[in-house]
Every structure is written in C-alpha cells, then in structure tokens.
Amino acid sequence: MPDNGKPLVLVADDDAPTRRLIEVTIRNCGCDVVTAIDGEAALAQIRSLHPRIAILDVQMPRLSGWEVAKELRDDDAAHHTRIIFLSSRTQEHDVLEGFSAGASDYLFKPFSPRELQARIRSMLARDS
Amino acid sequence: MTAEAADIHQLVVGLFVVIGIIGLEVAAIASYKIEREQREAIEAKTKEAIVGRVIEALDRDEPLIIPLPRGLRGRATRETLIAMIATIRGEARTRLVGALEERGYVERTVRLLRSRRAATRARGCMILGGMLSERANAPLLDRFRNDPDQNVRLTAAEALAEIGNALTSADLIEAVKHSSNWQRLRVANVISRMGETAVPALLDSLADEDEAILRLALDILCDIAHVPEFMPVLRLLAHPSVEIRGRAVDLLGIAGDIDAIDQIIERAGDAVWFVRVRAIKSMERLSVPMSDEVADRYYARLVALLSDEKWWVRQRAAQALANAGSLGYQVLQASVSDAAVSALQMHDIREARA
C-alpha cells in the first residue's frame, strides 16, 4: 500500500453493498481502506498489511469475525491492529463474546455512518 | 420410392427435426445465460454507482439526488436503497427514506397494492416495509384489514411492524384467531418485535378461552420477557391443559417474578412430569429466596424431587440444588441418587474451568 500518511483501515464483510457502504464512509474520514470478503482473506490482509483498524462483520464465511480476532490475539506482529466488530448480532452474550475475543469496540447494525466515523477518528487520535 | 427407402427417408427427416429442436433449445439456453449475465452486470454497476453517490452526498450534507430509472436499473436502484436503509440508521436513514419519498418510489410501489394478483400485492407490501416510509402506513393498514388474501394481510402486518407505530398488538392478536399454525408463527414474530408495547394486549388475551391463543400469547410473552402484572399468568397455573400450565410456569421464571416463587414451588409438584421440569427450571432462574421460611420450602421441594419417578425431573432437581449455593451443594452431596452424582460431577467440572 502507498505510504501517503493516511491511516489504513481494513473492512471485512461478506455482503458487498454493506462492505462498499462502510468503505466509502471510512474513506470519507480520511483513511485508506482495503476490503476483504471473508474471514480468511481478512486475516491474511491484517497479517500482511498491518492496518491500524480492522472493522469486521461477525458472521462471515470461512472464518467468523470472532475467529479472526482470536487468531490475532496471539499474533505479536498484529497486536497494533485495533478490532471493531460491526454486527447485526446484538444480544448481550454476542457483545461479551466480541470483547473477550479482543475487540476494542462493538457496534450494531444498522449503524450510523457519522457515528462510525466519529469512533474511528477518536480511536486513531487516542492511538496517536 | 420403395417402402424401405420411404422409411429411411422418414427417419432421416425425423433426425434432422430432432437435431434442429435440440439446437434451438441450446441456443435459447445460451442466449438466456448471456442475457442473465448482462442483466447481473448492469445491476452490479447500478448498485455500485448508487452506493458511492449516496454516501458521498450524505457525508457532505449535499442534496440527495436519487435517479428514477425504469426497468432493470430502476429495480436495482430501489433494491440498493432499501438494502442501505436496512444497514444504516439515524440521520442518514431519515434522509434516504425522504429521498425515496420525494422521487416517488413510495407512490409507485403503493400502486402494486392495487394489483389483481395477490402475489404482486404481497411483493408490494414487502418492498414498502423495506422502504420504512410512514406514507405507506395507510395503504398497508388497508391491505392488513381488508385484503381477501391471508398472505397479503400477513405481509402487510410485517411491513407495518418494520415501519413501526401504525399497528396495534390487539389488531394482530385478533388476526391470529383466523390464521393457520404457520401464519400464526408469522404474526407471533411481528408481535414479538413490538416488544413491551405489545404486553398489555397480550396479557388481556390470557383471558381468552381459545387454547391456541393462550399458547401463542404465553410464548410471545416469554420472548419479550417483560410482565408488569402477574395475576393473569398465575391464574393459568391451574389451567386444565398441560401445555398452558407448563408455559405459564416458564414465563414466571423468565420474567423474574420472585413473588410467585411459592406458586412455582407448588407447580413443581404437578401431576405431569414435564410441568415439574419447567417449574424446577423457573425455580433455578429465580434462585433461592431470601426469606428463610420460603427457602426451606424451596430446598425441601427439590430434595423431594430427587426421588421423582422420572429421571429428567430427578436430574433437573439435582442440577438446581448444585447451583443453589453452598447449602444446596451440601444437600446434594448428602444424597445418593444417580442424578445427584452426575450433577455434582458437572458442577465440579464447571468450577474447575471457571
């Protein structure tokens, strides 16, 4: 990825319109974005590109968002990547599962694009 | 021409006709496949363009200019916008719904509700549900109340539930009375999604004589898990139907009415074993009461059930004791029943893992 000073964010969701929606939302807050269509691709991209933030859907083919997060938890090279789950699974036990897998944040679908941007900016500012 | 030559001639002609027909079929399939691929490509391109354009406009607070194409592009545009409405919320969603209304998408879809074909009316209801526009409330209510087709009425109810506020749970409970089992499930889903606002009408329906209504209302209340007034449920603990008693005792445990613990303990002595199991589960959910007198009755009932004739009841009682604090655990250890032994083992395993 070209080093233009913009923070890199990964968006992983198997639903194309949702993925595109999140991608454009994140680009519009000044980030570079790479996308993945399933958990395996997301994991590979996180390991090779080291994005600052990974926005993961929970229910994805091949590897779920939780499984991706658990894989990364034990990976020293990827520990700088913050994970945000963006999911339609909204029960308390889902949220707890997400945080126990290593998420920094857990957002519900349907989501507010402005709220997502605000959270991304806040996370990036905190890490700087 | 000899008879033999005529036969061969006929055979050859027949063969050519068959080959010709097969050829036409193959050409038709190939043409359909190409057409489908082209259609999918147009749809994908339209969707991509719409998402980008809408998000840019929303983000920059610019006016949302939604195109109004016809045919394939029109359908792809509408589907993309509905998918976006389902995915986002807040101001962005309000603006998208507003844009659909301004561009006439809602009115165009409402026209589908006047179709002579029930399938088209049902499809119209479904699409309007996805658009989330309150302008669709009146026509959808009309379909819910007056459409001759049951599926259209139910789809209208589902759409109204998506949009919110226009439908009362009393309307829906009334609709359940004239539905088949599968249709009742659909209505139950709609009522369940209304959440606590549906509870008063559901509690009222617990006075109904129709067992199917009682079963449904109790199931939905278990789903919503909020019961501000327990008397209607307590009355059902003495219902002649085993299913109603079982569901009622379930609900008392799920909704967390500790004041009903005595009635639940009593129901743990029901003549029917699976009502006893459900009562024990509710006792476990509510946990050991604070009052010593009631706690004594709680433990005494569970200990008595360790010798129940049914293994499931013994097993459930043993589990409840294992999870009832140190006293419950000690009581269990003092017991020699098979269910007690397995419950103790499970308890120890869970403690070791924690």
Please tell me if residue B92 touches chain A, with a CB cutoff of 8 Å: yes
pLDDT for position A78: 73
Contact B55 A109 (CB under 8 A): no
DSSP B136: G
pLDDT for position B57: 82
Distance in Å from the first CA to the final CA of chain B: 96
* Chain B hits for A33, Cβ within 8 Å: none
Going through chain A in order, the beta strands assigned E by DSSP cover: 8-12, 32-36, 53-56, 82-87, 105-108
Say if residues B313 and B337 touch (Cβ distance below 8 Å): no
pLDDT for position B353: 61
* Chain B hits for A121, Cβ within 8 Å: none
Query: In the structure, how many helices (H) and strands (E) does chain A have?
Result: 5, 5
Quick check: A53 pLDDT over 90? yes
pLDDT for position B239: 94
Give the closest-approach CA distance of B91 to chain A in angstroms. 8
pTM for the full predicted model: 0.67
Amino acid at position B258, single letter: I
Q: Position of tokens 């030559």?
A: B5
pLDDT for position B354: 64
Please tell me if residue B40 touches chain A, with a CB cutoff of 8 Å: no
Quick check: A2 pLDDT over 60? no
Contact B80 A17 (CB under 8 A): yes
Alpha carbons B114 and A91: distance in angstroms, whole number: 39
- Angle, in degrees to the nearest 10, between helices B3-59 and A16-27: 30
Residue of chain A whose alpha carbon sits nearest to that of B89: A112
Residue of chain A whose alpha carbon sits nearest to that of B90: A112
Alpha carbons A49 and A8: distance in angstroms, whole number: 8
* Chain A hits for B92, Cβ within 8 Å: 112-114
Rounded to two decimals, the ipTM of the complex is: 0.75
Counting Cβ atoms within 10 Å, is residue B228 exposed (0-12), middle (13-18) or buried (19+)? exposed
Q: Position of tokens 């004589």?
A: B209
B152, two tokens: 């259209």
Contact B83 A17 (CB under 8 A): yes
Mean pLDDT for back-to-back runs of 10 residues, chain B (354 residues)? 83 92 90 86 83 79 75 82 86 87 89 95 94 92 90 90 78 74 79 83 89 89 87 93 94 87 93 95 89 88 92 92 86 74 74 68
Which candidate from B47, B48, B89 shows the least CB-CB separation from A111? B89
Please tell me if residue B181 touches chain A, with a CB cutoff of 8 Å: no
Rounded to the nearest angstrom, the gap between the alpha carbon of residue B92 and the centroid of all alpha carbons in its chain is 27
Question: Which positions ≥6 away from B238 have C-beta within 8 Å?
Answer: B245
Mutate to test the interface with A, among B50, B88, B89, B96 (most CBs of A within 10 A): B88
Contact A28 B48 (CB under 8 A): no
Contact B80 A109 (CB under 8 A): no
Mutate to test the interface with A, among B59, B91, B94 (most CBs of A within 10 A): B59
CB-facing half-sphere around the CA of B89: CA atoms within 13 A: 9
Phi and psi dihedrals of B254, rounded to 5?
A: -65, -45
Residues 9-28 of A with CB under 8 A from B: 16-18, 20-21, 24-25, 28
Quick check: A1 pLDDT over 50? no
Question: Which positions ≥6 away from B354 have C-beta within 8 Å?
Answer: none
Q: What letters, b where the CB count within 10 A reaches 16 and e where it falls short, cover B52-68?
A: ebbbebbbeeeebebee
Averaged confidence pLDDT in chain A? 88
Please tell me if residue B80 touches chain A, with a CB cutoff of 8 Å: yes
Q: Which of B210, B212, B255, B209 is nearest to B233 (CA)?
A: B255
Say if residues B314 and B290 touch (Cβ distance below 8 Å): no
B111, two tokens: 């026209």
pLDDT for position B76: 82
